[in-house]
Amino acid sequence: MLKLALGKVFSLRFLNSLTIMKKKVAPKINLNYLVFSIAIVVFILVEILFYQFYHYVPIKLNGKDLKAVRGETVENFLTRIKKMPKYGRLIDVEGKAIAGAKGEPPKIWVNNKFANPSYSVKNEDKIATQNGKDTKEEIKTALETVQSKIVYKGKGAFIYVIKRGRPGLKMVEKGQVSKKVVSDKWKLKPVDFTIGRINIRYRKVVALTFDDGPSKYTGQILKILKQYKAKASFFVVGRLVEKRAKLLKLMAGRGYTIGNHTYNHIPLNKNVPKKIKNELQKTKREIKKAAGIETKWVRPPWGLLNSSAINFVLKEKYHISLWNIDTSDWKRKSPRKIKEKVLNNLKSGQVILLHDGGGNRGNTVQALPQIIKGIKEAGYRLVSLEDMYRLVE
């Protein structure tokens, strides 16, 4: 009886333990949470069905069944699936494709009609594409100026004509895009120029010249020149004269020579007569407007000329000044090296090239007092280009 009673007690305790465990393990179900979760699942399924049966529309592309996004442009669709037709190539006169050039444009049809790339794709549209065809570039015929050669004699800073030449004229057929020549025929053959370069002899004079201004450094240079009572000449860039007209007027008022260095600092040897004339005349007008003087001096940028430039300069009765000593101060050389380049190469009649514009000219400004002192201590006199030109023998 005792064993039976103990067994019943143990069984009741065991059942009570299981009941407690069930209460702890099985939490209460939140009905709101369950409803919300079901709603999310339903929403996702609806979205999938929407995209499958409404967002995408069936179309045909070159006979193949595909799906496009409803309302997207035909250009976006073709680009997205990497089926956008390409332009044809532009073929040059030698039969080679021209890099970066386009031939015939590609074609797009929608439902057998030419379509604009911005057309919006619709259900059951039939799209067809075709790459553009290769096309040949057009051949252009033009009368071209051919510059004559320039033969220099001598090493002086001033230029004069020994034998006058002229440019030639040639009828040229060439590819409009590639510029490759198909044929050419002389209408007038060029005649070479022979140009003399002369210098001053037996006179201990030199000339300081400054190119590429006026700039913020020009005012500093003018103060130094005034302090040491030194003459100098300035070859100015027309577009910069417009910005510093008052400074140019001051330079002219102090008697410094002002010369023409083109309006945009262009190489005259690589330009046509019309461009050369425009560059020099615009600068001449700006100098006249700012300083009230008619300049008769020209220095071609980098010293580069062609026969058209020489013809125009001669016609306008300009004097051309080059140089004998190039300090290369535009390379940002140290003040010491700039000074040494001048003083180690001094000779009678030398024209010295410096720069007051075109970049940082702080080193040129620092070197200038020592250059002027060194020139005077060597027994040379600083003169203007006008003075030096009168002394040419």
- Tell me the domain boundaries of the chain: 53-136, 139-196, 198-390
Average pLDDT over residues 221-225: 98
Return the higher-pLDDT residue of 34 and 276.
Answer: 276
Please identify every residue annotated as catalytic: 211, 355
pTM for the complete prediction? 0.70
Split at pLDDT 50, 70, 90, the class of 3 is very low
Of 163, 136, 138, 160, the C-alpha closest to 149 is 163
Distances (CA, A) of 260 to 94, 251, 307, 319: 44, 14, 18, 10
CA distance 390 to 393: 8
Angle at 262 between CA 260 and CA 264, to 5 degrees: 145
Q: Looking at domain 198-390, does it have CATH number 3.40.50.300? A: no
So what's the pLDDT on residue 43?
Answer: 65
CATH architecture designation of domain 139-196: Single Sheet (2.20)
Residue 45 has pLDDT above 90, yes or no: no
So what's the pLDDT on residue 177?
Answer: 96
- Fold agreement between 139-196 and 198-390: no
So what's the pLDDT on residue 18?
Answer: 47
Query: Helix count (H) and strand count (E) of the chain?
Result: 11, 22
So what's the pLDDT on residue 40?
Answer: 77
Q: What is the residue type of 14?
A: F
Q: Looking at domain 53-136, does it have CATH number 3.10.20.30? A: yes
CB 378 within 8 A of CB 346: yes
CB 209 within 8 A of CB 321: yes
